């Protein structure tokens, strides 16, 4: 019997014939924490009497969730992370470098066929480049930093085969929202998702990250894709380290195979307060909004900012609406400046903030007021997510947000792309 991508990577890393539902102890290729989870991991590391990390060049901490620090208490936690990084020689990405899930692949820490953990639930993002990457808690992170190992239950896999061609103006964000709406928020709990088919292969690597990023929003442990020529080219541009991709066997055993044809897919929007509350944009068009957010680990890459700029060029943000833009990383921000993309967005009326997670997680940089509606490119719209549990969050693509901040209401972006 053949194996899924998850079974193959976990077999390779555990040295065992790993099959779904087995429990294995596996070697980690990279370990990451952010400023919401690293302080507790540092505490656990000290309690475990950790003397050193398994390999400081394969451990990174990222200050991105509250960056720069908005509060004295947070500043203390950041200071702890900097002190830990200095003492143990690990990699530290300080304020302004960007969102952890953009940085891990962009800085070349993640390659196809590797096994990565991060103390952040959206660590599943790197499945787009064929890595088994998954979110864990702080104690797991501490054990991983110390031993370079972690236990895993080998997940069963749901295979999503996406046929057809996305119509013009219909982006990967709409595809993943559609899939989550169909399978629901816990439809893939404990499992891995594999995304394949010609519609996936047609996407850029950047657009694929958006899909794998949201695997957790269907409960999945990993959101895996096969490595093709685009993947290889992308990875080689970001790192010189050798790698060996993994493909699913044709006779691999799946928990379920779901097939879709997306040739007629419309732009989708997730309504408050759950990510699987998904409808075509036509059903919510006209809803007044007070704030738009473009950025996050889901949709803050250069391609995303370009799409927004194309719509906002020579147009203005509606006077009753605000637009916040948070590029996913310093690199993305610099590239966007160089191309004139950021200038276009600022001229249209955007407030650009430091690369980081702030607006999405509600730590700072754009907490909405009571009763306000927000349209965001983020991955979660839980009540209170942006820092106010009396606000309403809708999720869409960068195009939806750009079009909606021009009209001041939720808008089908295709009207601006003709």
Partner 1 sequence: MEFKGIAHKFGDDVNTDYIISGRYKFKTLDMKELARHVMEDLDPDFYSKVNKGDFIVAGKNFGCGSSREQAPLAILNADISAVLAKSFARIFYRNCINTGLALIECDTDQINEGDELEVDVEKGVIRNLTQQRDIPVKPLPRFMLKILSDGGLVEHFKKHGTFNFD
**Residue from 17, 186, 198, 233 binding partner 1 (CB under 8 A):** 186
**Residue from 28, 44, 307, 312 binding partner 1 (CB under 8 A):** 44
Of 120, 137, 117, give the one whose Cα is nearest residue 27.
117
**Residue from 1, 49, 240, 264 binding partner 1 (CB under 8 A):** 49
User: Would you count residue 140 as binding partner 1 (CB under 8 A)?
Assistant: yes
Of 265, 291, 293, give the one whose Cα is nearest residue 279.
265
**Residue from 13, 101, 221, 322 binding partner 1 (CB under 8 A):** 221
**Residue from 57, 189, 241, 369 binding partner 1 (CB under 8 A):** 189
User: Would you count residue 48 as binding partner 1 (CB under 8 A)?
Assistant: yes
Distance CA 168, CA 80 (A): 48
Other CB atoms closer than 10 Å to residue 343's CB: what's the count? Answer: 12
E-strand ranges in 246-371 read: 256-261, 268-270, 278-280, 291-295, 322-326, 351-352
User: Would you count residue 100 as binding partner 1 (CB under 8 A)?
Assistant: no
**Residue from 69, 102, 138, 268 binding partner 1 (CB under 8 A):** 138
User: Would you count residue 359 as binding partner 1 (CB under 8 A)?
Assistant: no
Distance CA 17, CA 24 (A): 9
**Residue from 146, 309, 324, 403 binding partner 1 (CB under 8 A):** 146
User: Would you count residue 143 as binding partner 1 (CB under 8 A)?
Assistant: yes
Omega before residue 119 within 30° of 0, cis? no
**Residue from 40, 95, 232, 346 binding partner 1 (CB under 8 A):** 40
* DSSP assignment of 368-409: PPTT-EEEESSS---TTTTS-TTSEEEE--HHHHHHHHHHTB
User: Would you count residue 69 as binding partner 1 (CB under 8 A)?
Assistant: no
User: Would you count residue 15 as binding partner 1 (CB under 8 A)?
Assistant: no
Strand partners, 375: 292, 394
Strand partners, 259: 161
* Nearest CB to partner 1, comparing residues 222 and 311: 222
User: Would you count residue 136 as binding partner 1 (CB under 8 A)?
Assistant: yes
Distance CA 230, CA 310 (A): 24
Distance CA 254, CA 268 (A): 28
User: Would you count residue 119 as binding partner 1 (CB under 8 A)?
Assistant: yes
Omega before residue 276 within 30° of 0, cis? no
Ramachandran region, residue 7 (left: φ > 0; alpha: ψ -120 to 50; beta: rest): alpha
CB of 351 to partner 1, least distance (A): 25
Q: 350-386 burial string, b = 16+ CB within 10 Å, else e?
A: bebbbbbbbbbbbbbbbbbeeebbbbbbbbbbeeebb
User: Would you count residue 190 as binding partner 1 (CB under 8 A)?
Assistant: yes
* Nearest CB to partner 1, comparing residues 220 and 309: 220
Q: Which stretch binds partner 1 (CB under 8 A): 81-89, 93-101, 116-124, 371-379?
A: 116-124
User: Would you count residue 25 as binding partner 1 (CB under 8 A)?
Assistant: yes
* Nearest CB to partner 1, comparing residues 189 and 369: 189
Of 197, 206, 195, give the one whose Cα is nearest residue 235.
206
* Nearest CB to partner 1, comparing residues 208 and 385: 385
* Nearest CB to partner 1, comparing residues 141 and 348: 141
CB of 169 to partner 1, least distance (A): 33
**Residue from 80, 147, 196, 247 binding partner 1 (CB under 8 A):** 147
User: Would you count residue 183 as binding partner 1 (CB under 8 A)?
Assistant: no
Which chain residues interact with partner 1 by CB under 8 A?
23, 25, 36-37, 40, 44, 47-50, 119-121, 135-140, 142-143, 146-147, 149, 151, 153, 185-186, 189-190, 219, 221, 382, 384
């Amino acid at each position: 019997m053949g194996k899924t991508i998850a079974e193959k990577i976990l077999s390779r890393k555990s040295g065992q014939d790993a099959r779904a539902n087995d429990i294995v102890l596996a070697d980690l290729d990279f370990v990451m924490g952010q400023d919401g989870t690293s302080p507790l991991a540092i505490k656990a590391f000290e309690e475990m009497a950790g003397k050193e990390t398994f390999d400081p060049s394969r451990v990174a901490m990222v200050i991105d969730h509250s960056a720069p620090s908005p509060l004295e208490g947070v500043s203390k936690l950041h200071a702890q992370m900097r002190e830990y990084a200095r003492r143990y020689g690990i990699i530290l990405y300080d304020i302004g470098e960007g969102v952890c899930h953009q940085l891990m692949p962009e800085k070349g820490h993640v390659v196809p066929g590797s096994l990565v953990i991060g103390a952040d639930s959206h660590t599943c993002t790197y499945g787009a480049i064929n890595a088994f990457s998954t979110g864990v808690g702080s104690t797991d992170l501490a054990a991983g930093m110390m031993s370079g190992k972690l236990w895993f239950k080998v997940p069963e896999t749901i295979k999503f085969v996406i046929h057809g061609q996305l119509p013009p103006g219909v982006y990967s964000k709409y595809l993943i929202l559609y899939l989550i709406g169909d399978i629901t928020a816990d439809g893939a709990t404990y499992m891995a998702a594999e995304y394949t088919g010609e519609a996936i292969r047609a996407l850029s690597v950047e657009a694929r990250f958006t899909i794998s990023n949201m695997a957790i929003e269907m409960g999945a442990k990993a959101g895996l894709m096969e490595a093709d020529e685009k993947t290889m080219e992308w990875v080689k541009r970001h790192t010189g380290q050798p790698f060996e991709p993994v493909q699913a066997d044709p006779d691999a055993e799946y928990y379920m195979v779901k097939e879709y044809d997306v040739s007629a897919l419309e732009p989708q929007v997730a309504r408050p307060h759950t990510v699987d509350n998904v409808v075509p944009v036509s059903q919510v068009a006209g809803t007044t909004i007070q704030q738009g957010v473009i950025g996050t680990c889901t949709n803050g890459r250069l391609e995303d900012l370009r799409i927004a700029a194309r719509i906002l060029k020579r147009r203005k943000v509606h006077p009753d609406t605000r637009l916040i833009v948070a590029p996913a990383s310093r690199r993305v921000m610099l590239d966007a400046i160089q191309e004139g993309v950021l200038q276009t967005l600022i001229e249209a009326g955007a407030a650009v903030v430091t690369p980081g997670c702030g607006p999405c997680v509600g730590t700072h940089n754009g907490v909405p007021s009571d009763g306000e509606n927000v349209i965001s490119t983020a991955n979660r719209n839980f009540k209170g997510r942006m820092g106010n549990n009396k606000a309403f969050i809708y999720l869409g693509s960068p195009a939806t947000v750009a079009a909606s901040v021009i009209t001041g209401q939720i808008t089908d972006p295709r009207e601006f792309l003709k």
